[in-house]
């Protein structure tokens, strides 16, 4: 009994440590605040009609008309009320607020994986902290990609269950696999599940080869059977969602278009199922950018401008101002919220693990790491083309750098296995001293080399620098190409050294941490310090390293007096990244145009107040007490009642009548049935309408509106008329433009033309 209690101590400590770190990171949640997440705001727009319909009927609808002319709700807000795994998830996450619970689960999951490969619990705790604080998690939680990070959190324990099963623990391993795979599937992010398959497949093949060589085919077959049963059990709770998603995907942009021509009239060459390669690679990394795994500012971190970093440069005022507007990110992605950083110390011990870890599993994981790193590059390679063209399912997902989530699992796993071997063999470290010190010393020397001569190894140009400065200068009234070139040249002369200094600061930070680890290991080997000191120091270094970098991207900073003008919707002292719960659930306020549409459409009905009041009461009940924005909630409820009783559509354009990308607009869906929307898996047939018609018709409307005014703006909007686009919003501070040419809810067809193909 006493031994059992002693053995439980590290597990209890691990849970407490993970809860504390996660809770501190997202501490505003415990004082009534929630993250202000862009994707969640868009989701609230997409799902508004679904929520209103449920408030009135108690039923969950499988179709919504609020975005892209109407689409299924399978991948917007699926009904998971019958999935009992959700209840287990709440228990495992200890009832913590969602982002806190997700980060906690990521840490706990890696801790479980460490235990499954028999790593010392105290060392596994370091791996848990490293996995949970990897910047991927923080970046995507901050953006609102909650289901993605939730799915990532369960990847490590699924791998742990598989390894446990294949290493002699049939039933415990099978149970762990079934439980965490069920949770991973319930997270409902098939891209992360797809990458998990690679992780399990590579590890499984390595373990199978080991069992085959040992002559344990009988056990291998038993383990395979257990894992198959575990997978079936894991799929069952989410089976309806998986089947619906599979069937739905065939009709989306992930499937194949029925059309045989391109928008320009040229013939399509063969079947084109899946996403366009350029679209897939749009947010992938440049080759040098992969070093952000160990040096976060290798390409400047996140998109933005240099700002205050340019204050101290020795240049004239105009050049200094231009440099302050210079791009602070100089990588290959179209835009980024920050670097994928796994921690300098974790990468160091991963490299060391490849030298000293005896487990042959490391070679399979190294191969998968190399593949994932190559596939994360934006520049097409033979491997990338092979995967897009040949590997089933790969072309259905965009942003290939997301495959680095498998590396997010692998690196801390190998790192803690390396540290575990050092601790286990602490009584006879002499054979390990030379390879360890050579490996760590070489790694440290590389970081110093990067810091000393950075431009030898990396480029500090952004492909968009010239066009960026041209836009700024033209906006300032300078149109002469020679002047633009001159100003741009002077600005770049100062901007490149500034970027180099940003990189050097981070490279030096990496060098000092690597040097600290080298010194710590050397002191341990010389018996100047005990391993009981080495482990907590390394753990604290890992915590500080990752936590401090994460704070660059998602923190608890507040608006200062000097910044007030940059945040017109916030007061001095407000959090930059957090809002009150009532603000979170109601992120949009109706504009003049929105309110005008509401007032006009309400006149078509005798009374919608009963429905609006029912929606309002349902919303107020969520808060328990009346929130401060109850007037806004009441107004938004009126919009909901009108939407549920009408079928006209609205197209939003930016101020001045210029065309806006309709595929990135979730706000309009919050108030109206929208021509556009915001979703990564819209129906292919609607995408065809956008590609073939809506883009040109929006441009036609913009041109006619600017030259002929509202009366002549609808000369070229036949398809928009067909879609019953009754209102065009040409600016939030301007009245909406009524379209008298809208066809209404139904219309008669003059002619039917039969064709052999589309």
For 304-326, what is each residue's pLDDT tens digit? Answer: 888 888 888 888 888 888 888 88
| pTM of the full structure | 0.93
Distances (CA, A) of 331 to 25, 460, 471: 28, 8, 19
Q: Taking CA 37 as the corner, what is the angle to CA 76 and CA 147, rounded to the nearest 5 degrees?
A: 45
CA distance 508 to 494: 21
How would you classify residue 28: left for phi > 0, otherwise alpha for psi between -120 and 50, otherwise beta? alpha
In a domain, 396, yes or no: yes
* Contact between residue 637 and residue 613 where contact means Cβ atoms under 8 Å apart: yes
Helix H or strand E segment including 738: strand 737-738
In a domain, 573, yes or no: no
Q: Which of 555, 562, 561 is nearest to 576 (CA)?
A: 555
Residues 685-729: pLDDT tens digits? 999 999 899 888 988 888 888 888 888 888 889 999 999 999 999
In a domain, 462, yes or no: yes
Residues 629-680: pLDDT tens digits? 888 999 999 999 999 999 999 999 874 444 457 778 889 999 999 998 988 8
pLDDT band at 134 (very low <50, low <70, confident <90, very high): very high
Work out the average pLDDT over 157-179: 97
User: Has residue 602 got a pLDDT over 60?
Assistant: yes
CA distance 22 to 546: 13
Handedness of CA 66, 70, 74, 78 (dihedral sign): positive
Handedness of CA 531, 537, 540, 542 (dihedral sign): negative
Length of the chain (residues): 758
In a domain, 535, yes or no: yes
Helix H or strand E segment including 610: helix 609-623
Count structural domains, the chain: 1
Work out the average pLDDT over 598-624: 87
> Comparing 20 with 602, which gets the higher pLDDT?
20
Average pLDDT value over all residues in the chain: 91
Beta-carbon neighbour count of residue 425 at 10 Å? 13
Based on its alpha-carbon atoms, the radius of gyration of the chain, rounded to whole angstroms, reads 28
Q: Name which of 110-124, 563-577, 684-698 the model is least confident about.
A: 563-577
In a domain, 492, yes or no: yes
Tokens 């100047």 sit at which residue?
Answer: 528
Three-state secondary structure call for residue 490: helix
In a domain, 1, yes or no: no
In a domain, 236, yes or no: no
CA distance 418 to 693: 58
Three-state secondary structure call for residue 145: coil
* Contact between residue 462 and residue 496 where contact means Cβ atoms under 8 Å apart: no
In a domain, 453, yes or no: yes
- Structural domain boundaries enclosing 503: 281-556
Residues 268-289: pLDDT tens digits? 765 566 678 888 888 888 888 9
Three-state secondary structure call for residue 416: helix
Q: Tell me the H-state helices in 453-480.
A: 454-457, 465-475
CA distance 608 to 605: 7
- For helices 481-525 and 344-356, angle between their N-to-C axes, nearest 10 degrees: 50
């Amino acid at each position: 009994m006493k031994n059992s209690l002693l053995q439980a101590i590290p597990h209890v400590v691990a849970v407490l440590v993970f809860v504390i770190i996660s809770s501190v990171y997202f501490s505003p949640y415990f004082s009534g605040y929630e993250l202000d997440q862009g994707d969640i705001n868009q989701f609230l727009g997409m799902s508004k009609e679904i929520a209103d319909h449920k408030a009135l009927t108690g039923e969950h609808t499988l179709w919504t008309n609020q975005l892209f002319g109407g689409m299924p709700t399978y991948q917007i807000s699926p009904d998971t009320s019958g999935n009992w795994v959700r209840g287990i998830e709440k228990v495992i996450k200890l009832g913590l607020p969602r982002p806190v619970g997700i980060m906690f689960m990521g840490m706990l999951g890696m801790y479980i994986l460490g235990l499954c490969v028999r790593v010392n619990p105290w060392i596994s705790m370091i791996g848990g902290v490293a996995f949970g604080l990897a910047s991927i998690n923080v970046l995507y939680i901050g953006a609102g990609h909650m289901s993605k990070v939730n799915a990532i959190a369960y990847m490590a324990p699924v791998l742990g269950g598989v390894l446990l099963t294949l290493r002699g623990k049939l039933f415990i391993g099978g149970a762990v696999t079934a439980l965490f795979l069920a949770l991973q599937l319930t997270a409902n992010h098939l891209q992360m599940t797809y990458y998990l398959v690679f992780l399990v497949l590579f590890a499984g093949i390595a373990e199978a080869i080991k069992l085959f060589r040992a002559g344990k085919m009988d056990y291998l077959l038993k383990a395979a059977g257990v894992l198959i049963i575990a997978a079936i059990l894991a799929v069952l709770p989410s089976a309806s969602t998986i089947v619906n998603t599979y069937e739905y995907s065939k009709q989306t942009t992930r499937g194949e278009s029925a059309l045989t021509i391109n928008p320009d009239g040229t013939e399509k060459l063969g079947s084109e199922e899946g996403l366009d390669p350029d679209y897939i690679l749009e947010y992938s990394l440049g080759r040098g950018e992969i070093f952000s795994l160990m040096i976060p500012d290798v390409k400047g971190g996140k998109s933005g401008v240099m700002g205050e970093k340019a204050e101290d440069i020795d240049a004239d005022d105009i050049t200094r101002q231009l440099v302050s507007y210079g791009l602070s990110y100089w990588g290959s992605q179209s835009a980024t919220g920050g670097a994928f950083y796994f921690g300098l110390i974790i990468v160091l011990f991963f490299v060391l693990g490849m030298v000293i870890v005896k487990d042959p599993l490391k070679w399979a994981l190294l191969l998968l790491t190399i593949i994932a790193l190559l596939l994360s590059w934006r520049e097409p390679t033979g491997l990338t083309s092979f995967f897009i063209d040949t590997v089933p399912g790969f072309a259905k997902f965009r942003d290939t750098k997301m495959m680095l989530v498998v590396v997010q699992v692998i690196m801390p796993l190998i790192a803690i296995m390396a540290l575990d071997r050092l601790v286990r063999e602490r009584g006879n470290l002499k054979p390990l001293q030379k390879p360890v010190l050579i490996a760590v010393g070489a790694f440290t020397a590389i970081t110093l080399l990067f810091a000393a001569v950075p431009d030898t190894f990396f480029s500090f140009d952004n492909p968009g620098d010239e066009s960026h400065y041209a836009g700024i200068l033209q906006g300032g009234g300078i149109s002469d190409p020679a002047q633009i070139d001159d100003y741009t040249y002077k600005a770049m002369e100062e901007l490149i050294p500034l970027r180099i200094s940003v990189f050097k600061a981070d490279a030096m930070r990496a060098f000092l941490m690597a040097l600290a680890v080298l010194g710590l290991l050397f002191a341990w080997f010389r018996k100047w310090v005990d391993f009981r000191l080495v482990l907590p120091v390394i753990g604290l270094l890992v915590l500080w390293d990752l936590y401090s970098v994460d704070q660059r991207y998602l923190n608890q900073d507040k608006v200062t007096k000097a910044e007030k003008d940059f945040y017109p919707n916030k007061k001095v002292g407000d959090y930059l990244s957090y809002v009150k719960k009532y603000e979170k659930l109601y992120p949009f306020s109706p504009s003049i145009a929105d309110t005008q549409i509401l007032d006009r459409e309400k006149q078509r009905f005798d009374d919608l107040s009963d429905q609006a009041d029912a929606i309002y009461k349902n919303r107020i009940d969520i808060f328990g007490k009346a929130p401060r924005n109850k007037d806004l909630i009441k107004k938004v409820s009126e919009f909901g009642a009108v939407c549920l009783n009408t079928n006209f559509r609205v197209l939003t354009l930016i101020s001045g009548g210029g065309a806006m990308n309709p595929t990135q607009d979730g706000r309009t869906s919050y108030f109206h049935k929208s021509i556009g929307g915001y979703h990564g898996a819209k129906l292919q047939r609607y995408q065809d309408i956008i590609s073939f018609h809506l883009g040109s018709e929006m441009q036609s409307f913009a041109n006619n509106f600017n030259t002929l005014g509202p009366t002549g703006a609808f000369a070229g909007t036949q398809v928009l008329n067909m879609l019953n686009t009754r209102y065009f919003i040409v600016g939030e501070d301007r009245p909406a433009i009524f379209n008298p040419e809208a066809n209404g809810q139904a219309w008669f067809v003059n002619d039917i033309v039969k064709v052999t193909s589309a």
